[in-house]
Amino acid sequence: MKTLDSAFAQKVREHKNTIYTVCYMFSQDEDEVNDLFQEVLINLWKGFDSFEGRSDIRTWIYRVSLNTCISQDRKKKRRSNVELDMNVNLFKDNDEDSKQIRMLYRRINKLKPFDRAIVLLWLENMSYDEIGAVVGITSKNVGVRLYRIKEELKQMSDN
């Protein structure tokens, strides 16, 4: 029989990419992503022994990861430090595809955390039912919100 520690470690190994994907959506800074990852692990550990399996473990991990990152994002915005990046790389990817991806990423980061979470899950190719299970809304509501989010992204400027 597996101990709680080894069962937890196994689930973290199985879903490590899921956790990192969520963390990357909330930060571009490697150190901050690692901090978010650690916070997610702490919260997963706190709730692991009480996880009852009423939903899929992947859904639960997404939910805990998103809630942790959203909470940390709110705390960060309350502190609102302005950091200057002195490591400017003038030779970074400047082809049209890279510019489009960076523009989309900047726009997604302007969304409210809940909408950002929905887009993240949609970009992970999750079904509307799965997204709804993770964020706690109906699949029909997911479709409506995604439509509105896409319209909002189209209307945004890149300033």
pLDDT tens-digit series, residues 29-49: 889 999 999 999 999 999 888
Classify domain 1-85 by CATH architecture. Orthogonal Bundle (1.10)
Query: Torsions phi, psi of 136, nearest 5?
Result: 85, 35
Distance in angstroms (rounded) separating the CA atoms of residues 76 and 34: 15
pLDDT tens for 107-120 read: 888 889 889 989 98
Smallest Cα–Cα separation from 121: which of 112, 131, 113, 106? 131
Domain assignments of the chain as residue spans, ordered by start: 1-85, 93-159
93-159 and 1-85 share a CATH fold: no
Q: b or e along 73-97 (b: 16 or more beta carbons within 10 Å of the residue's beta carbon)?
A: beeeeeeeeeeeeeeeeeeeeeeee
Average pLDDT over residues 133-148: 93
Asked whether 15 and 57 are in contact (CB, 8 A), the reply is: yes
Smallest Cα–Cα separation from 116: which of 77, 147, 84, 70? 70
How much is the mean pLDDT over the chain? 83
Question: Which CATH code of 3.40.50, 1.10.10, 1.10.3470, 1.20.120 fits the domain covering 93-159?
Answer: 1.10.10
Q: What is residue 152's predicted lDDT score, i.e. its pLDDT?
A: 92
